[in-house]
A and B are shown apart, each in its own frame.
Chain A
Amino acid sequence: MIGEARQSPGGGAMSVAEIEHELGKLRANDDGTLALRSSVLNLIVVTDEDSAPDVTRAVSNLAGRHPARAIVLISDPDGERNVDVRISAFCNVRGGGAQVCAEQITVHAEGPPANHLESLAGPLLLPDLPVFLWYPGAFSPLSPEFAAMADLADRVVVDSAAREDREETLREMAAMVGEKEMPAVGDLQWVGLSPWRSLLADAFGSPERSDELEKIESVEILYAPGGECRALLLLGWLASTLGWSPENATRDGSHRRVEFSGPSGKVSAELSPDSPDARLRRVRLRSPGYSFQVSRHRERAEVRTTVLRGEDLAAERTVRLGSFDLGVLVGEELRYRGCDEAYEAALRTAVEVLDL
């Protein structure tokens, strides 16, 4: 991408007017002309000191595809009271010299202001554009701080696997999604599932196999330790889409068995941890006549789909899984505006499974 990063020299405590003025100056070119700013969204990111460099990198990678005003809030409630502002812009030269600038405002908030981030982010938002709120790390969906931030947003993007207690996170998220006041929610664990979901759906694509969907008897999901959220969401998705209701569950360490009642009888599911090199290793669905499997290559980011009729290979295909870079995942989420009903149903079912 042709472009240039521009850094404002200032910093420290700044007023909203000073910040806007500095951003305006960054749009001025050397020849005295002004870059036009065309933006499609606001992106607020709430993070901490340790994750800030990675997050900032991901945000600047988004600038090309999603010209935005990014407000990166680095929060440290335990620190000494301080608010420090840094400003940069990334101006992208398109043909004819016209420029499009994406802007980034980084605010370090320490002490009490860190508990009122909404008062810092709100005034910096661009009018008329949707607001995405991204928590790359741990977050508490039911806290007043989160609610105040969510109030600013049209869509909240989180990572349900970011916290240690993943089950509790899923429960809290399901409660959050149920609230009317909450904006739409996106989950990076869910975005990561999207190629898996489409590959599984493809496996049932041909007319003679589509009937098998109603006859599924068992599901096996192999996931990496730490990939439990993704596995549960995938199971939740299968169950909610295919009309299975969870009946009972047993667990042995991190190995889980779940019984569902489906439209044509019992469905048993097994979730087992596997090697740590891929968050999802393999998904296998069986019906009386068929076995459908999608599995990831051990080294390469490739997945192989196989359909067996009895012992015979009925269909086979290997495709690239695509990048799971943080920026790519978040970028996917920024394409959507409204509620993702499939996700919400999957999340609710996953929590029903947890609560059995």
Chain B
Amino acid sequence: MPDPGVVVIFGASGDLTSRKLVPALYELASQRRLPMEIAVVGLSRTEMSHEEFRKKLRETLEEHVSGGVSDDVWDSFAGGIFYLPGDSKKPETYEELKGFLKKLDEERGTQGNRAFYLSTSPSLVPTIVERLGEAGMNEGENGGWSRLVIEKPFGRDLGSAKELNEEIRRHFDEGQIYRIDHYLGKETVQNILALRFANGIFEPIWNQHYVDHVQITVAEDIGVGTRGAFYEEAGALRDIVQNHVMQVLCLTAMEPPVSFDAESLREEKVKVLKAVRPIPDEEADDYAVRGQYTRGWVFGEEVIGYREEENVDPDSVTETFVGLRLFVDNWRWAGVPFFLRAGKRMPKKATEVAIQFHSSPHTPFAHDDTEGLEPNVLVVRVQPEEGLSLKIGAKVPGSGFEVSSVNMDLLYGTAFLEEAPDAYQRLLLDLMLGDPTLFIRADEAEGAWRILDPVMRHWARKKEVSPYPAGTWGPEDADALLERDGREWRRP
């Protein structure tokens, strides 16, 4: 059970608060995983009373928690929800906040512990951090703790991420900083670690001796919807690849950590990022491809192209698809290409890691008998329906010795016997417990940017983006990226 404390949410009138943060805290409270003395303080510029804020959150709660909302549970939880209107740029706001939090310590017994959740526009982050520092809130009251949660995107490139880290560290120690990537809070993503390190049979073959190549896919079937303005600034590389895809790469490629404590695990992830072969600026096209969806059909529905979306420049070259070809130059992975792709408006929502093994060195069967037989592939599927599948060659029943591929598919039982908790529940609980294992360390964020910086520089100069019809697996260039190595993309 975590210590009592206050979660202060900056940007509380935003979507994330009502969609993710408050539902996750509500669920945690209802499952008795938070102490009674927990409090939530929302802060943003909108004028609202405590009661109005609670009412607003209650209205949308049902949509975001599974299994219904109990009024009694809500009422007792909502008693600890408060709201402060204020401009996060102004020092007065922080004086007021400080006083309010002290009052909560006395009235609700929150023991001087504070977690500041920055759910604001990235540009406000340095100011808020500075103001918190000036107001002395970078330390808890009376020996309590003070923690800072920062949402992605963490910077826009290597330079800005470094700058941001420096600014934050002027007021907070690394141990107080929780950079959140909700992907790491997903049970299913953590299961990559379980598969690798809780099973003895996979690790011995998890290297260049046995693995031909690795494909990581993070595909969404949705378009940018109402997030056009945000997406124009971000693009798939910053929105998905720098954080989620790179994290999945780290978990797939890392060495076994000595223990699962925060520093051991994060140390190994950073080593992977450091081992990724730098992409030379002038050869960026050989390593990275960007695409943008055009009008097309997705699961029986006609959808518009990216340039037709709301708040999107009709000549935009923002990428909605990224394909990467990376090499992890270390003892384990020498010569094994890692193909990564992420995109919107793909045929379906799918996240998976596919390990393709070398073909068998010699087949004693006649060629005709092994038609349709392909190398073994182990797929760790994060979605849809979390599970594991293995493609193996098997004898076709009959008098000859025909061999063909069979796909053995195992679903992790928890996928439907018990709804997996939302990633934010896990991460908010870890935050309150002070466990940063599943949060991003400064050097991880910088390491991921370092890999992608040359690509971003190249794309900033290049004025075109390859189109792909919505409902397809990306532009033709993406296929060419693999063809040069004699491989092809899987159909997830």
| A residues at B contact (CB < 8 Å) | 15-17, 20-21, 23-25, 27-28, 32, 34, 36-40, 83, 107, 109, 112-113, 116, 118-120, 122-123, 125-130, 335-338
The CB with the most chain B CB atoms within 10 A, among A120, A122, A128, is that of A128
A328 CA to B379 CA, complexed, in Å: 33
The proximity string for B residues 2-23 relative to A, scoring 1 for CB distances below 8 Å and 0 otherwise, is 0000000000000000000000
Query: Which residues of A sit under 8 angstroms from B490, Cβ to Cβ?
Result: 127-128
A112 CA to B299 CA, complexed, in Å: 12
- 17 pairs of residues in contact across A and B, judged by CB atoms under 8 Å: A15-B299, A16-B221, A24-B416, A36-B410, A40-B405, A107-B300, A113-B297, A113-B301, A119-B297, A119-B299, A120-B300, A122-B348, A127-B354, A127-B407, A127-B490, A128-B377, A128-B490
Asked whether A127 lies within 8 Å of B297 as measured between CB atoms, the reply is: no
- B298 close to A (CB within 8 Å): yes
Nearest opposing residue in chain A for B490, CB measure? A127
Q: Which residue of B411, B416, B471 is within 8 Å of A119 (Cβ)?
A: B471
Asked whether B302 lies within 8 Å of A112 as measured between CB atoms, the reply is: yes
Binds A, one of B39-47, B83-91, B235-243, B382-390: B382-390
Nearest opposing residue in chain A for B415, CB measure? A24
Asked whether A123 lies within 8 Å of B348 as measured between CB atoms, the reply is: yes
Nearest opposing residue in chain B for A123, CB measure? B348
From known contacts A116-B300, A119-B347, infer whether A38 and B406 are also in contact, taking CB-CB under 8 Å: yes
A338 CA to B349 CA, complexed, in Å: 30
A4 CA to B122 CA, complexed, in Å: 56
Query: Which residues of A sit under 8 angstroms from B413, Cβ to Cβ?
Result: 34
Nearest opposing residue in chain A for B471, CB measure? A119
Query: Which residues of B sit under 8 angstroms from A112, Cβ to Cβ?
Result: 302
Nearest opposing residue in chain A for B469, CB measure? A119
Asked whether A25 lies within 8 Å of B299 as measured between CB atoms, the reply is: no
From known contacts A113-B300, A123-B347, infer whether A128 and B391 are also in contact, taking CB-CB under 8 Å: yes
- B1 close to A (CB within 8 Å): no
- B310 close to A (CB within 8 Å): no
- B194 close to A (CB within 8 Å): no
Q: In B373-407, which residues have CB < 8 Å from any A CB?
A: 374, 377, 379, 383-385, 389, 391, 396, 404-407
Asked whether B407 lies within 8 Å of A38 as measured between CB atoms, the reply is: yes
Nearest opposing residue in chain B for A17, CB measure? B384
- B492 close to A (CB within 8 Å): yes
The proximity string for B residues 281-315 relative to A, scoring 1 for CB distances below 8 Å and 0 otherwise, is 00000000000000011111110000000000000
Asked whether B409 lies within 8 Å of A122 as measured between CB atoms, the reply is: no
Query: Which residues of B sit under 8 angstroms from A39, Cβ to Cβ?
Result: 406-407, 409
Asked whether A32 lies within 8 Å of B417 as measured between CB atoms, the reply is: yes
Asked whether B349 lies within 8 Å of A129 as measured between CB atoms, the reply is: no
Query: Which residues of A sit under 8 angstroms from B297, Cβ to Cβ?
Result: 113, 116, 118-119
Asked whether A17 lies within 8 Å of B383 as measured between CB atoms, the reply is: yes
A336 CA to B404 CA, complexed, in Å: 10
The CB with the most chain A CB atoms within 10 A, among B296, B347, B492, is that of B347
Asked whether A21 lies within 8 Å of B407 as measured between CB atoms, the reply is: no
Query: Which residues of B sit under 8 angstroms from A120, Cβ to Cβ?
Result: 299-300
A21 CA to B385 CA, complexed, in Å: 6
B455 shortest CB reach to chain A, Å: 27
Q: Which residue of B296, B371, B377, B416 is within 8 Å of A338 (Cβ)?
A: B371
Asked whether B409 lies within 8 Å of A21 as measured between CB atoms, the reply is: no
Asked whether A40 lies within 8 Å of B406 as measured between CB atoms, the reply is: yes
Asked whether A130 lies within 8 Å of B384 as measured between CB atoms, the reply is: no
- B366 close to A (CB within 8 Å): no
The proximity string for B residues 130-145 relative to A, scoring 1 for CB distances below 8 Å and 0 otherwise, is 0000000000000000
Nearest opposing residue in chain A for B381, CB measure? A127
Q: Which residue of A34, A123, A130, A337 is within 8 Å of B299 (Cβ)?
A: A123
- B408 close to A (CB within 8 Å): yes
B36 shortest CB reach to chain A, Å: 35
A204 CA to B407 CA, complexed, in Å: 42
Query: Which residues of B sit under 8 angstroms from A122, Cβ to Cβ?
Result: 347-348, 471
Asked whether A38 lies within 8 Å of B372 as measured between CB atoms, the reply is: no
Query: Which residues of B sit under 8 angstroms from A127, Cβ to Cβ?
Result: 352, 354, 379, 389, 407, 490-492
B145 shortest CB reach to chain A, Å: 39
From known contacts A127-B492, A128-B379, infer whether A36 and B300 are also in contact, taking CB-CB under 8 Å: no
Q: Which residue of A25, A40, A107, A338 is within 8 Å of B404 (Cβ)?
A: A40
A32 CA to B406 CA, complexed, in Å: 25
B453 shortest CB reach to chain A, Å: 33
Query: Which residues of A sit under 8 angstroms from B299, Cβ to Cβ?
Result: 15-16, 119-120, 123
Query: Which residues of B sit under 8 angstroms from A38, Cβ to Cβ?
Result: 406-409
A54 shortest CB reach to chain B, Å: 25
Asked whether A130 lies within 8 Å of B372 as measured between CB atoms, the reply is: yes
Query: Which residues of B sit under 8 angstroms from A16, Cβ to Cβ?
Result: 221, 299, 348-349, 384
9 closest residue pairs by CB, A with B: A123-B348, A113-B300, A119-B297, A337-B372, A20-B384, A116-B297, A37-B409, A123-B347, A83-B300
Query: Which residues of B sit under 8 angstroms from A338, Cβ to Cβ?
Result: 371-372
Query: Which residues of A sit under 8 angstroms from B354, Cβ to Cβ?
Result: 127
Nearest opposing residue in chain B for A85, CB measure? B300
A155 shortest CB reach to chain B, Å: 10
The CB with the most chain B CB atoms within 10 A, among A34, A37, A40, A127, is that of A127
